[in-house]
Each structure stands twice: as structure tokens, then as C-alpha cells.
Amino acid sequence: MRRSKFSEKQIIEILKEIEDGAPVVETLRAKGVSKDTYYKWKRKYSGMETGDVKRMREL
């Protein structure tokens, strides 16, 4: 499996930025993220904080 060029912390930050009202298309373009990748991340990490991701990985 290919490793992401974004850390989990960066992914959460991008999702939060969009959740807080930033335009989706412009934000993704600026960060170099495809729409497909964004929706995969959204399904996987939606509503999580950085600490939650660490706890999930430990399980």
C-alpha cells in the first residue's frame, strides 16, 4: 500500500479547515489534494481530533 504524503495531523487540519467554511475546491487545489482523496479522508477521519487518530491507531 502506498504511503500518503500527508501526515494524519495534516489530513485532520485540512478537513477542519474545510469544515470551518473554507471553499472545498480552492482549499484542495492549494494543498494538492484530489477530490477523491478528500472524500476518502472525510469518510475515514470525519469528526476526529488529532489525538483520536493516535488512539485509534493504538487499538
Domain ranges of the chain: 8-58
Q: What is the pLDDT of residues 12-29, one digit of tens each?
A: 999 999 999 999 999 999
Q: What percent of the chain has pLDDT over 90?
A: 58
Residue 8, pLDDT above cutoff 90: no
**Distance of alpha carbon 37 from alpha carbon 18, whole angstroms:** 14
In the block, which residue shows the cell 487540519? Answer: 13
Distinct helix (H) and strand (E) counts, the chain: 4, 0
pLDDT of residue 45: 85
Distance of alpha carbon 50 from its chain centroid, rounded?
Answer: 10
Mean pLDDT of 23-47: 93
Residue 26, C-alpha cell as written in the block: 480552492
Q: Which residues have a Cβ under 8 Å from the Cβ of 34 and sit 6 or more positions away?
A: 28
